[in-house]
Amino acid sequence: MNTLLKNSTIEIKSPEEVEKMRVAGALAAEQLEMIEEFIVPGVSTAELDRICHEFTVKQQHATPAPLNYNGFPKSICTSVNHVVCHGIPSEDKILKSGDIINIDVTPLKDGFHGDSSKTFLVGKPTVLAERLVSVCQECLYRGIRTVRPGSRLGDIGHAIQTHAERHRFSVVREYCGHGIGRIFHDEPQVLHYGKPGTGSELKPGMTFTIEPMINAGKKEVRLLPDNWTVVTKDHKLTAQWEHTILVTETGYEILTHRSDDTIARCA
């Protein structure tokens, strides 16, 4: 497709739409802050799903967008250890000390989505788990720091890939970040690998997610027969962190910024 044409399909939000994205983003952040104390050895992922569902609906007066999205059966994704993404909460999946779990939440409020995820350490982490999880978070932050008017999508992917591979980890290719707004998964695709100076140019008012999935072993993944759960082919550990980002006149704004984030909300 022609580059000009492709660029023109990335929506620019109006100030009113941006304000609604801020509200939805803040709800996603609040959910990840709320759930932290429940992530302990012995809890099931189904219980974490119930807590998030109730909180979203009863406290936030929002809708969990994952529920029934393309047939997804639960309100959040819970991806443990070698599960890359889209893990389905289950009564049978009980967390134990040393596990890592990504919780991915997407509240829908007043017509707009806020999409964010964080990988939590359960009990006492292994040295590898701690390293993988923090390098993955750094990958997200390095991707975010490239965001400003005039930079390109390839700059984000390059920053992420370079950092992951410097640590001898690998970047999952099959899943990517995405434009977001009234539509959960919109244009553009935000790849977590790539070359600087390539891809669509960023403009103020664009909103999209960055959500690197970083593997301790090889980059290849496999889809389980439930047609949702994505696992690493080599069954080694994998981590993911996700924020919803707004391109501003001067840089970026993290719409899903939390109190535990170690990057500035705006630049």
Q: Please report, as ranges, the residues that interact with ligand MF3 according to CB under 6 A.
A: 66, 69-70, 72, 77, 86, 104, 106, 115, 209, 211, 242
* Part of the chain binding Co ion (CB under 5 A), chosen from 51-59, 124-132, 158-166, 235-243: 235-243
Q: Which residue number, 169 or 175, has a Cβ lying nearer to Co ion?
A: 175
Task: State in angstroms the smallest separation of the CB of 143 from ligand MF3.
Answer: 14
| Distance from C-alpha of 137 to C-alpha of 42, rounded to nearest angstrom | 26
* CB 114 within 8 Å of CB 256: yes
Q: Which residue number places its CB atom closest to ligand MF3? A: 66
75 binds Co ion (CB under 5 A): no
Q: How far apart are CA 151 and CA 137, in angstroms?
A: 21
The tokens describing 257, both together, are 């910024």
Q: Residue 155, Cα to own-chain centre: how many angstroms?
A: 18
- As measured in angstroms, the least distance from the Cβ of 59 to Co ion is 20
CB 192 within 8 A of CB 177: yes
Q: Tell me which of Co ion, ligand MF3, none is bound by residue 86, counting a contact when its beta carbon lies within the kind-specific cut-off of 5 to 8 angstroms.
A: ligand MF3
* DSSP code of residue 150: T
Torsion from C-alpha of 88, 228, 185, 237, nearest 10 degrees: 80
- Beta carbon of residue 72, minimum distance to ligand MF3 (angstroms, whole number): 3
Which residue lies nearer to ligand MF3 by CB, 201 or 246? 246
* DSSP secondary structure, 206-266, as one string: -EEEE--EEESS-S-EEE-TTSS-EEETT---EEE-BEEEEE-SSSEEETT--TT--S-SB
- What does the alpha-carbon distance between residue 184 and residue 77 come to, in Å, rounded to a whole number? 15
* Smallest separation, CB 113 to Co ion (Å): 9
CB of 2: closest distance to Co ion in angstroms? 27
| In the complex, least distance from residue 159 CB atom to Co ion, rounded to whole angstroms | 18
Q: Which of residues 98-117 bind Co ion (CB under 5 A)?
A: 104, 115, 117
Q: Of these partners, ligand MF3, Co ion, none, which one is at the site of residue 66 (CB under 5 to 8 Å by kind)?
A: ligand MF3
Inter-residue contact 22 to 245 (CB < 8 Å): no
Q: Which is nearer to ligand MF3, 106 or 207 (CB)?
A: 106
CB closer to ligand MF3, 49 vs 104:
104
Q: How many residues bind Co ion (CB under 5 A)?
A: 5
- Output the six-digit token pair for 150: 């005039």
Binding site for Co ion (CB under 5 A): 104, 115, 117, 209, 242
